[in-house]
């Protein structure tokens, strides 16, 4: 079983509060990332697009609640940013590198640098406003 298959299987186990995990296969704006692909899929990709990184864990109820919020926003923005999902239990070195203590933690990257973050559950309007603000700043600067 590949890393992607394992991740999809874990997501499927989240239950009815999560959407159908097969949407990841149809939505190119949501990707699974690990410590081996982080450089290319997050840092390098952030040279051209805002990248939101969701550090989540299977055992974390706030992660389960936030996942559909993030994925809906990624889908609604239609490619204006990329949502990269990192399962922390399988990628502890990445979580340690960014000194993450609680989950979920969301980091935003632009041009290879972390430009914003938040931790814990946030309602959809709060996350949407943050993403809009970051995108507006990037578009003005770009």
Is 63 catalytic? The answer is yes
Among 60, 88, 106, 131, the active-site one is: 60
Is 136 catalytic? The answer is no
Eight-state DSSP code of residue 20: P
Structure-block tokens of residue 105: 């933690």
Among 31, 45, 50, 63, the active-site one is: 63
Scan for tokens 């700043």, then name that residue.
137
- Report the 3 state secondary structure along the chain: CCHHHHHHHHHHCCCCCCCCCCHHHHCCCEEECCCCCHHHHHHHHHHCCEEEEEEECCCCHHHHHHHHHHHHHHHHHCCCEEEEEEEHHHCHHHHHHCCCCCCCEEEEEECCEEEEEEECCCCHHHHHHHHHHHHHHHHHHC
Catalytic positions: 60, 63
């Amino acid at each position: 079983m590949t890393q992607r298959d394992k991740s999809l299987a874990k997501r499927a186990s989240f239950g009815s509060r999560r959407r159908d995990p097969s949407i990841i296969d149809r939505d190119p704006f949501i990707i699974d990332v690990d410590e081996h692909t982080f450089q290319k899929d997050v840092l390098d990709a952030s040279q051209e697009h805002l990248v939101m990184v969701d550090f989540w864990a299977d055992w974390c109820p706030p992660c389960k609640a936030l996942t559909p919020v993030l994925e809906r926003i990624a889908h609604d923005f239609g490619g204006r940013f990329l949502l990269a999902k990192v399962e922390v239990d399988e990628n502890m070195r990445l979580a340690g590198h960014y000194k993450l203590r609680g989950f979920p933690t969301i980091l935003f990257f632009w041009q290879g640098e972390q430009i914003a973050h938040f931790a814990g559950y946030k309602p959809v309007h709060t996350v949407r406003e943050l993403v809009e603000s970051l995108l507006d700043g990037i578009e003005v600067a770009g």
